[in-house]
């Protein structure tokens, strides 16, 4: 018989605990305790390591199983995300039409020297030679669907990078929950099938954030790899500049547990590199005018602050609430079942509450940047997209909050009654978590469908005009970008005039601007066709609508009704008599 001092094999049922005077195991139940898994966690209920298997090997097996399970669930989440995005259907939005057409023109300029609209650099909210070139190339290959598919790839890449980033901060389970929160949001779903700058810029921000987290234990100069990516993100979409400080702060925070105050050098190096590269790229560039007109000195709107707060809460409020739950829980208790993460010190010790609180404030505070900026501008334009940028950064904490609401899937028990009670609690909390996930996806489904129907379907309009447009005509349209894109193989951008700004010299040689310019152009019969959208979209629409019948040179050719989420309307098509 082996002496009682002989250490038992890991997982062996022959373990002989210290005996009390009555022969029972002191301080233990009569039921054998579940063996401890890696880092002091209990092995899954009903599962024990093989007898004689070293703990390190069991930990490796457990880690591989978690990794593959996480990847499998992530794949399912991304499939659902792709289906939710690709189900959306509408003709090109005016921004999509404008950026894709600009990209096609840029390619024509590169290969044939064709003229490019000089206003692109002054009016675009991103560089006309970055995303538009990609969108133009995809449009040449697959039309509007091809350009939108490119956005889907970018957004799926964001989800994958978010999972990897969160997995390193916490664990695979939290990473999956973070991916679910992100994939279910209306901004993610819409941007996944929307050919604008946003998806590309968001992907670059996600890549830079992943990089600074991934290099948390590397030397401080490793963070410099993120600098050109961040500059590229900013040039792709100028509004991405709001989130550059968050990435810099994240670079410092994730390295602090390993390097202490020396981690500040990562922030200094990254900031200096951003300034140097950004300055070199923008110095003397025509992009500066675009940055000023669309971002830094953008004209203020008329949206009420209360209305902007309401829509921000509607779009990201539930996810932000989850993030706050995760942040507060993380500050109160660093670990609640999560496995070792990149944030922990080499010794396995969890960083202190100050560090955890700082991380929570940084990531949750990022959620407020886009709403605060647009409240400052008093405009809701693009807010539904920009809140998605903040979501990328606070989604890890939202995933942590959801994970802790669901509770740990592994627990150590010491008796059958406790097993039953624990199982019942796990089922209840899992049901709560599942309910939250279902509500999140249902909300994203509904909101994205509503958002994608905010502009009219132009199929009938394009079909009506197609037999009549040619490379010699002149056309005036409320949303000129849309017919310019759809008739790109027939007409040029100089043939289409919008209804937002016009300078016109009339037949008497008088130079006019604004409403009088449109009235004079119509009186002179300058346009072959005029397309007005009812209700109007330009402040000059009433003057144009009045001038058309009174000029005696135009007749109402057709009126095409449409429906949007804002109600019914119509296209009024006027032709020159």
Burial 458-485 (b: 16+ CB within 10 A, else e): beebbebbeeebeeebbbbbbbbbbbbb
CA distances from 118 to 22, 100, 128, 293, 480 (A): 93, 16, 10, 15, 17
pLDDT score at 338: 61
pLDDT score at 57: 55
Structure token digits, residue 451: 């958002």
247 plus 283 within the same structural domain = yes
Main-chain phi, psi angles of 136, to 5 degrees? -65, -40
Structure token digits, residue 231: 């500059």
415 plus 478 within the same structural domain = no
390 plus 477 within the same structural domain = no
* Rounded-to-integer distance, Cα 197 and Cα 187, Å: 13
What pLDDT digit, counting tens, does each position of 48-99 carry?
444 555 555 545 677 788 888 889 999 999 999 999 999 999 999 999 999 9
Which residues of the chain are under the pLDDT cut of 70? Answer: 1-60, 336-350, 408-426
Cα angle: 365, vertex 289, 282; to 5 degrees: 75
Residue 55 maps to a domain: no
81 plus 103 within the same structural domain = yes
Query: Is 129 strand, coil or helix?
Result: coil
DSSP 157-179: HHHHHHHHHHHHHS-HHHHHHHH
Residues with Cβ within 8 Å of 509's Cβ and at least 6 positions away in sequence, in order, are: none
172 plus 247 within the same structural domain = yes
Residues with Cβ within 8 Å of 348's Cβ and at least 6 positions away in sequence, in order, are: 39, 340
Residue 37 maps to a domain: no
pLDDT score at 430: 79
Residue 41 maps to a domain: no
Three-class secondary structure assignment of 496-565? EECCCCCEEECCCCCEEEHHHHHHHHHHCCCCCEEEEEECCCCCCHHHHHHHHHHHCCEEEEEEEEEEEC
* Rounded-to-integer distance, Cα 256 and Cα 266, Å: 10
Residues with Cβ within 8 Å of 369's Cβ and at least 6 positions away in sequence, in order, are: 242, 243, 246, 389, 390
Residue 331 maps to a domain: yes
* Rounded-to-integer distance, Cα 513 and Cα 499, Å: 12
151 plus 276 within the same structural domain = yes
pLDDT score at 59: 57
pLDDT score at 506: 86
419 plus 495 within the same structural domain = no
DSSP 440-478: HHHHHHHHHHHHHTSS---HHHHHHHTTT--TT--EEET
What pLDDT digit, counting tens, does each position of 383-423 carry?
999 999 999 999 999 999 999 998 765 544 444 555 555 55
Query: Is 16 strand, coil or helix?
Result: coil
pTM, 2 dp:
0.86
* Rounded-to-integer distance, Cα 73 and Cα 76, Å: 5
* Rounded-to-integer distance, Cα 163 and Cα 79, Å: 14
375 plus 490 within the same structural domain = no
Q: Cβ(451)–Cβ(430) under 8 Å?
A: no
432 plus 481 within the same structural domain = no
Domain membership of residue 543 as a residue range: 459-576
* Rounded-to-integer distance, Cα 246 and Cα 536, Å: 40
* Rounded-to-integer distance, Cα 37 and Cα 172, Å: 17
Question: Tell me, what DSSP letter sits at residue 491?
Answer: -
345 plus 441 within the same structural domain = yes
User: Pick from 419, 452, 485: which residue ends a domain?
Assistant: 452
pLDDT score at 296: 78
Residue 51 maps to a domain: no
* Rounded-to-integer distance, Cα 346 and Cα 344, Å: 7
* Rounded-to-integer distance, Cα 431 and Cα 351, Å: 32
Residue 301 maps to a domain: yes
Structure token digits, residue 568: 């019914």
Q: Cβ(364)–Cβ(323) under 8 Å?
A: yes
382 plus 404 within the same structural domain = yes
367 plus 298 within the same structural domain = yes
Indicate the number of domains in the chain: 2
Write the CATH number for 521.
3.40.190
Residue 31 maps to a domain: no
DSSP 40-78: GPBPPTT--PPTT--HHHHHHHHHHHHHHHHHHHHHHHH
User: Pick from 452, 482, 517: which residue ends a domain?
Assistant: 452
| Cβ atoms within 10 Å, residue 427 | 10
Residue 199 maps to a domain: yes
pLDDT score at 8: 37
User: Pick from 435, 452, 469: which residue ends a domain?
Assistant: 452
């Amino acid at each position: 018989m082996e002496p009682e001092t002989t250490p038992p094999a890991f997982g062996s049922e022959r373990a002989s605990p210290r005996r009390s005077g009555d022969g029972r195991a002191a301080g233990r139940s009569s039921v054998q305790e579940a063996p401890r898994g890696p880092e002091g966690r209990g092995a899954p209920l009903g599962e024990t390591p093989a007898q004689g298997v070293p703990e390190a090997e069991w930990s490796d097996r457990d880690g591989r199983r978690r990794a593959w399970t996480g990847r499998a669930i992530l794949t399912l989440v991304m499939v659902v995300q792709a289906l939710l995005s690709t189900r959306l259907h509408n003709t090109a939005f005016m921004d999509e039409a404008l950026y894709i057409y600009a990209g096609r023109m840029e390619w024509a300029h590169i290969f044939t020297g064709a003229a490019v609209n000089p206003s692109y650099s002054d009016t675009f909210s991103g560089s006309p030679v970055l995303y538009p070139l990609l969108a133009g190339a995809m449009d040449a290959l697959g039309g509007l669907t091809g350009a939108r598919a490119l956005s889907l790839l970018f957004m799926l890449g964001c989800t994958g990078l978010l999972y990897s980033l969160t997995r390193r901060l916490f664990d695979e389970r939290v990473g999956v929950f973070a991916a679910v929160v992100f994939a279910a949001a209306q901004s993610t779903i819409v941007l996944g099938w929307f050919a604008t700058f946003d998806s590309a810029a968001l992907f670059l921000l996600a890549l830079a954030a992943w990089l600074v987290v991934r290099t948390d234990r590397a030397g401080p100069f490793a963070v410099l790899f993120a600098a050109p990516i961040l500059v590229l993100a900013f040039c792709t979409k100028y509004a991405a500049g709001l989130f550059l400080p968050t990435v810099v702060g994240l670079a410092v925070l994730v390295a602090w547990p390993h390097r202490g105050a020396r981690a500040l050098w990562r922030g200094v190096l990254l900031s200096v590199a951003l300034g140097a590269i950004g300055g070199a790229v923008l110095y003397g560039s025509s992009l500066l005018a675009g940055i000023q007109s669309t971002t830094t000195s953008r004209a203020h709107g008329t949206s009420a602050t209360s209305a902007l707060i309401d829509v921000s809460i509607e779009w990201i409020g539930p996810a932000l609430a989850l993030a706050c739950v995760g942040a507060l829980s993380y500050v109160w208790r660093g670990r609640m079942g999560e496995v070792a993460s990149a944030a922990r010190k080499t010794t396995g010790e969890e960083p202190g509450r100050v560090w955890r609180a700082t991380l929570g404030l940084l990531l949750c505070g990022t959620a407020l940047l886009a709403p605060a900026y647009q409240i400052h501008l008093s405009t809701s334009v693009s807010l539904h997209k920009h809140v998605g940028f903040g979501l990328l950064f606070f989604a890890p904490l939202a995933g942590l909050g959801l994970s802790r609401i669901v509770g740990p899937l592994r627990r150590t028990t010491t008796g059958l009654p406790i097993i039953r009670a624990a199982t019942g609690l796990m089922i209840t909390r899992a049901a709560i978590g599942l309910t939250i996930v279902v509500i999140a996806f249902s909300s994203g489904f509904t909101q994205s469908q509503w958002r994608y129907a905010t502009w009219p379907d132009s199929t009938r309009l394009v079909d009506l005009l197609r037999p009549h447009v040619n490379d010699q005509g002149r056309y005036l349209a409320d949303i000129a970008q849309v017919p310019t894109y759809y008739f790109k193989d027939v007409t040029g951008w100089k043939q289409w005039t919008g209804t937002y700004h016009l300078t016109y010299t009339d037949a008497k040689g008088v130079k006019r601007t604004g409403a009088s310019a449109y009235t004079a152009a119509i009186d002179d019969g300058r346009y072959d066709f005029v397309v007005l959208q009812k209700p109007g979209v330009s402040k000059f629409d009433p003057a144009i609508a009045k001038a058309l019948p009174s000029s005696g040179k135009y007749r109402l050719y057709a009126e095409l009704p449409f429906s949007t989420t804002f109600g019914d309307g119509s296209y009024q098509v006027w032709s020159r008599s």
